[in-house]
Amino acid sequence: MTILSSCKGIRIALSEKILLSSIVILSLSTTGCQKEAITKIISNNETTDHFTANPSTTATLPPNFGAWISGYAIDDKMNACSMINVTYVRDAIELKSFTGKSSTLDGYVKNGYKLLLNFVYQNASGGKAVPFPTDMTEYRKLLNNALDKYTPEVAVIENEPTTDKFHSGPIENYITELKAAVAVCKQRGVKVADGALNLQWVQTVMNGYSSPDPNYTETKKLIEAYKTIDLDYINIHTHAPFNKGDNPDVFPPNVAQKVADYLRRETGKEVICNEYNQYNTSTALMNSAVSAFAAGGYKYFIAHSNDNDGKGKALYSSGNLTEIGVAYKNAVK
């Protein structure tokens, strides 16, 4: 399969085969992208009356590829992005502590990088989650202050609203925050996305399963809310391999595309992924993931270079691309 698009204004081609298989065992473990453990057996070809897969209308267009380089100062971040040859980057502003300047963002902007910028009301610290904001007058003021200084290509509101270690309080408070943020961004002509749903939980919802887990309930509520909120994009986070015992070299076939098709049909919104974490160093898995999200018609795909949590692997280390960093570079060129 050949997929044509451009990165840094250059016409590029991606050629990867989307591998097919029949069954993926999804066992969601507690990570930065989910709250509680749940085990389901879900076939990649399985549908229910609730979900019938439709081919993506944008499957021939690859994402705008980018990188999120964690654990380094701005010069190394830009060096890594230059080596990978991407111009899209992810970063964040904590609204409550923002003083009007970020040296990291200044470096990116000065050097022509395009921002997918998370606006986080307040970061969790010391292992303690923080509540969603409830004073929307204050919130709109803080968000406007940040947007006065930095104008991203996409404003991403919060990070993983269903993750317990980051956020506390009812998900309805996040929905209220998101509506306020969308109104502010639309007045400025800034495109906006939610803080991300977990891919595996969306797959559980779309296949008609039920679970008492709060993460499942919150995911359903958010998908329903997104139907009527004027978002430009629905955001997805995920990692691979999903579970112990999965094929270490293959991103679960068809899953990324089915999730994207489902969300587009349910909400009428386009889909992005501003965080993909890889939990091994397989270059084949990186190639497979890039192909999977390209085939799914995601508008943006951001690979995370993260070796700080004991799971995610780095794209960049000590001035050089790692094996999977090189694989990512080759997959998107």
pLDDT of residue 41 exceeding 50, the answer is no
pLDDT of residue 51 exceeding 50, the answer is no
Domain ranges of the chain: 2-332
pLDDT of residue 285: 98
Helix (DSSP H) and strand (DSSP E) numbers for the chain: 9, 17
The HSE-up count of residue 62 (CA atoms within 13 Å, CB side) is 24
Q: Residues 21-42, buried b or exposed e (16+ Cβ, 10 A)?
A: eeebebebbebbbbbeebebeb
Hey, CA dihedral for 107, 110, 113, 116, is it positive or negative?
positive
Q: Which amino acid belongs to residue 322?
A: T
Range from 57-66, 172-181, 253-262 carrying the lowest mean pLDDT: 57-66
Residue 254 near residue 216 (C-beta atoms within 8 A)? no
pLDDT per position as a tens digit, 183-206: 999 999 999 999 999 999 999 999
Q: How far is Cα 313 from Cα 306, in angstroms, rounded to an integer?
A: 5
Radius of gyration of the chain (CA): 19
Counting residues of the chain whose pLDDT is more than 90, the rounded percentage is 76
| CATH match of 2-332 with 3.40.50.10440 | no
